[in-house]
Structure 1
């Protein structure tokens, strides 16, 4: 089995040079150690010191010199919008206070589906709609799912 020896950030490499493709949803792209199945059916090994989100357009450099392009698979998400930019900032604060992975875009925040969070946000006056899109959340200060700061 081939091993991934480097991760090339999206925009830092020529995607036309991709010899292979890896497509997965958020869970499948947020890994520390895993066997990844490429479009061709070949498996390659990812082994990192800490979990990392593989983002749309990243390149996975293999030990044989090939580069694999990462694609984010569309999935069911919640699109959160607000009445005003200030209201959206307030909603984002509540989302961040719950340590939820969130993709923050102009005029909206995207979250993974969660009916409890959807109801909380609606209770705060948010507009919450189901959409299908690729999920590429912010990395944040802690980048990994777990962190330690006393709560």
Structure 2
């Protein structure tokens, strides 16, 4: 069985991958898991701590080969506000419900949720259904031993 014990960040420049794995947001946060390869077969990931795998990063196998990580498109809501202050208020309401969110300068992305959509619309948000990779922020209460903090180059609301 193929085994990966090292993760490489996006832009690692360690050479081409021999295969790839497509994972959604929740699947990219892992410590130990068997992952299906796109070309068939599987790879066992076994890290000492929980990590978040970068889109276009790689898993390095025991034999030195690389498996590229690809963030899978997901069904999301794009939450849009009237202005920056309104978007911050919407972000507060989303966070108050402990909902994973991707925060960007002009929008918030969340997983589609039939309860949150009418609540956000009631607060004046415009909601657009999108299908794209999801890079949610990790909460402040995750383990400080985590070695994976994938920013993936997305602009945060505070920037």
User: How high is the TM-score relative to the length of structure 1?
Assistant: 0.85
Name the counterpart of 1:31. 30
Unaligned runs of 5+ residues in structure 2 are: 144-159
The Cα offsets for residues 84-115 of structure 1, whole Å up to 9 and x where unpaired, read as 10110111111122221111122001000101
Shift of 1:141: 2.2
| Partners of 1:121 and 1:55 in 2: CA distance | 30
Name the counterpart of 1:6. 6
| Partners of 1:143 and 1:57 in 2: CA distance | 23
Write 1 or 2 for the structure with the bigger share of strand.
1
Shift of 1:50: 4.3
RMSD of the alignment, in Å? 1.8
Name the counterpart of 1:106. 105
Corresponding pairs, count: 143
User: How high is the TM-score relative to the length of structure 2?
Assistant: 0.81
In the superposition, relative to structure 1, how do residues 21 and 74 fare at CA in structure 2: closer, same or farther (>3 Å)? same
Shift of 1:16: 4.9
Unaligned runs of 5+ residues in structure 1 are: 145-151
In the superposition, relative to structure 1, how do residues 76 and 15 fare at CA in structure 2: closer, same or farther (>3 Å)? farther
Write 1 or 2 for the structure with the bigger share of helix.
1
In the superposition, relative to structure 1, how do residues 49 and 97 fare at CA in structure 2: closer, same or farther (>3 Å)? farther
| Partners of 1:133 and 1:75 in 2: CA distance | 5
In the superposition, relative to structure 1, how do residues 117 and 49 fare at CA in structure 2: closer, same or farther (>3 Å)? farther
